[in-house]
Amino acid sequence: MRPADEALIVIDIQNDFCPGGALAVAEGDEIINRVNGLMDDFQTVILTQDWHPADHSSFASNHPGHAPFETLTMSYGPQTLWPDHCVQGTTGAAFHSDLRTDPADLIIRKGFRVAIDSYSAFFENDRSTTTGLNGYLSARGITAVTFVGLATDFCVAYSALDAARLGLRARVLLGACRGIDLGGSLARMSEEMRAAGVALEE
């Protein structure tokens, strides 16, 4: 069992990010056994759930003339457009049925504001609107976080970078993550994490 000041944060292991889902990450479901096992090692387990309204501004379908995986400039900066995914209350937004959810102390939902996307578990894509997770961790005296889940180069990387920026000790277990790899994003975000002091382990 790891010490009480450490938490496991499981990012977005939802049906839409697994094979057959609307924004499927290759082999996304293959990490689930390992993630389930890791939950027994941590005294605090937190799950995140991408949770979008149907008219969410990150969906290409809400921008006529634009297609998924294009980039648009929003008020807060560049935003990749995605296929509709993780719509609140749908099967796609549900956790994969093999993922253990009972060990979770907290489930944090993100991306529920129409006008802004939220990759990170800590801040929305303006990097300043908070999800409240930092306050939760600090109130519980948690200073170190280990990330696993989907997708390595988007929600996992943004979360780990924010954790490092907040002064938490941050670690990503790459073997318990899978990536989207859009235009080299996997290599780029891995390098950004390494440069920010995030520990990248298998």
Active site residues: 12, 110, 155
Nearer to ligand VGL (CB atom), residue 12 or residue 162: 12
- Residue 24 contact, options Zn ion, ligand VGL, none, Cβ 5-8 Å cut-off depending on partner type: none
Give Rg (Cα) of the chain.
16
Nearer to ligand VGL (CB atom), residue 42 or residue 158: 158
Residues 6+ apart with CB under 8 A from 121: 9, 11, 46, 48, 108, 110, 131, 133, 155, 159, 162
Pick from 109, 182, 140: nearest CA to 6: 140
Three-state DSSP at 95 gives: strand
Which helix (H) or strand (E) is 148 found in, with range? strand 144-150
**Least distance in Å: CB of 139 to ligand VGL?**
25
CA-CA distance, 130 to 121, in Å (whole number)?
9
Three-state DSSP at 14 gives: strand
Three-state DSSP at 151 gives: coil
**Least distance in Å: CB of 156 to ligand VGL?**
7
Nearer to ligand VGL (CB atom), residue 5 or residue 116: 116
Nearer to ligand VGL (CB atom), residue 6 or residue 153: 153
**Least distance in Å: CB of 36 to ligand VGL?**
19
Q: How many CB atoms lie within 10 A of CB 182?
A: 15
Site of interaction with ligand VGL (CB under 6 A): 12, 17, 50, 82, 119, 150-151, 154-155
**Least distance in Å: CB of 52 to ligand VGL?**
8
CA-CA distance, 7 to 74, in Å (whole number)?
33
- Residue 95 contact, options ligand VGL, Zn ion, none, Cβ 5-8 Å cut-off depending on partner type: none
Three-state DSSP at 47 gives: strand
CA-CA distance, 84 to 86, in Å (whole number)?
7
- Residue 154 contact, options ligand VGL, Zn ion, none, Cβ 5-8 Å cut-off depending on partner type: ligand VGL
Site of interaction with Zn ion (CB under 5 A): 50, 111
- Residue 150 contact, options Zn ion, ligand VGL, none, Cβ 5-8 Å cut-off depending on partner type: ligand VGL
